[in-house]
């Protein structure tokens, strides 16, 4: 399998949340890499990342807190599916990030998971990728069976 996910986060402080996505992607055998770039502090780097993503990845997971512009900026510059992870913050407990990600304008969709929902972002990525890489289907079914066992 050659599936590869690009993970982009706005700050190094988001790394502990992203570890759950990394662990889940590894369990499915999905390749990934992590890039740190801020839509506000390094906008040119983010734009370049998004514009070249289709040459490297099948899908992008973008995590951001507070204003959470990163997933939307990425989605504005690529046709790849983008899954946004709102990151919990002290000020508004991540609700600001959640609203920023789910309230994208028409034509620039970003899928969203729960606040700090990195594991679900990786599972959703695998479900989307299973359409192109059918060998993921068996791994997803196995995971669902394990969930049912408790």
Question: What percent of the chain lies above the pLDDT cut of 90?
Answer: 95
- The pLDDT score that the predictor gives to residue 17 is 96
Question: Kind and range of the H or E element at 25?
Answer: helix 15-28
Are 85 and 62 within 8 A, CB to CB? yes
Question: Residues in the chain with pLDDT < 70?
Answer: 1
Q: CA 19, 20, 23, 28 torsion: positive or negative?
A: negative
- The pLDDT score that the predictor gives to residue 96 is 94
Give the global pTM. 0.96
Nearest of 91, 92, 30, 88 to residue 61 by alpha carbon: 30
User: Class assignment of domain 4-149?
Assistant: alpha beta
Distance separating alpha carbons of residues 61 and 24, to the nearest angstrom:
13
Q: Where are the domains of the chain?
A: 4-149
For 25-50, the pLDDT digits (tens) are: 999 999 999 999 999 999 999 999 99
């Amino acid at each position: 399998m050659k599936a590869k996910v690009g993970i982009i986060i706005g700050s190094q402080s988001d790394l502990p949340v992203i570890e759950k996505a990394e662990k889940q992607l590894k369990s499915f055998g999905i390749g990934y890499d992590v890039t740190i770039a801020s839509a506000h502090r390094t906008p040119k780097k983010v734009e370049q990342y998004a514009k070249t993503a289709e040459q490297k990845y099948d899908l992008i997971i973008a995590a951001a807190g507070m204003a959470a512009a990163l997933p939307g900026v990425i989605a504005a510059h690529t046709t790849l599916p983008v899954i946004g992870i709102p990151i919990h913050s002290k000020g508004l407990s991540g609700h600001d990030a959640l609203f920023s990600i789910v309230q994208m304008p028409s034509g620039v969709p970003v899928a969203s998971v729960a606040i700090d929902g990195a594991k679900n972002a990786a599972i959703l990525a695998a479900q989307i990728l299973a359409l192109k890489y059918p060998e993921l289907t068996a791994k997803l079914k196995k995971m669902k069976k394990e969930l049912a066992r408790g």
